[in-house]
Amino acid sequence: MDDFDSLGIRDFTHQLPDLAGAYCGLVFVVGSARCVWDDLHRAGMTKNDDSHKHVLCVNDMIMHYPGSVEHAYSNNHVWLPKWIQARRDQYITRWGKPRYNHSNRAGGQHTWPWPGHGTSGLNAVYTAIALGYEDIRLCGIPLDDSGHYFEPEWMTSNFVREVPDKDDGLKYWSNAKKRIFKGRVTSYSGRTMKLLGEPS
């Protein structure tokens, strides 16, 4: 947990939820970019997946991920319970609601001391690391302007401006790669794949 000193969090271990360190192995962190379905396919996460691989969904994907969700994360603690409540009935019937939900502000089931910069996706990765996962694979988090899975093709997102290229990588993400990720995080698409590498 000393990895997080670079975030400026003092006395870090006393601020962690009880769930910290309770996990190990592989987790897929699933965002809501338009490429998410292709990324999940490349990751071997098949249609109507009953494999119960660990998945951490971010923001809107909490509603629409067609499989078991171990964790849900958002920096937006106000919307977090709404996304959980809006999860599709057929998914709740088959796989249930997310087992745990997390935010960096009070309002989530588990509150983490993250600064909130670099998008909910980055803070979801911090959460996955603090939970104990050693192999964290990003699906649908390219951080480009390709748009969201729920938008028409002609609409774009704004991540290139929100998370600009800075020095040797993406703002906040490149620092986290050096100080916190330590080879544990890879990505299936976009600028995060260029920065972090592709899963083997």
* Ordered DSSP codes for 42-106: HTT--TTB-S---EEEETTHHHH--B--SEEE-S-TTTHHHHHHTS-HHHHHHH-S-SEEEESSB
Q: In the prediction, which pLDDT does 117 show?
A: 83
Task: Report, in angstroms and rounded to the nearest whole number, the Rg of the chain calculated over CA atoms.
Answer: 16
What average pLDDT does the segment 166-185 reach?
Answer: 82
Q: Which of left, alpha, beta for 20 (phi over 0: left; psi -120 to 50: alpha)?
A: beta
Q: In the prediction, which pLDDT does 102 show?
A: 97
Q: Percentage of the chain with pLDDT > 70?
A: 79
Q: In the prediction, which pLDDT does 22 show?
A: 96
Q: In the prediction, which pLDDT does 144 show?
A: 78
Q: In the prediction, which pLDDT does 48 show?
A: 63
Whether 65 and 48 have beta carbons less than 8 Å apart is answered as no
Task: Enumerate domains of the chain plus CATH numbers.
Answer: 2-12+26-196 (3.90.1480.10)
Whether 157 and 145 have beta carbons less than 8 Å apart is answered as yes
Average pLDDT, the chain: 85
Tens of pLDDT along 43-99?
998 766 666 789 999 999 999 999 999 999 999 999 999 999 999 999 999 999 999
Q: Listing from the earlier edge strand, what are the strands of the sheet with 135-139? A: 110-111, 100-103, 71-73, 55-58, 26-30, 135-139, 185-187
Distance from the Cα of residue 82 to its chain's centroid: 18
Q: How confident is the model at residue 119 (pLDDT cuts 50, 70, 90)?
A: confident
Instruction: Give the closest residue to 37 by CA, choosing from 146, 126, 124.
Output: 146
What average pLDDT does the segment 172-190 reach?
Answer: 91
Q: How confident is the model at residue 107 (pLDDT cuts 50, 70, 90)?
A: confident
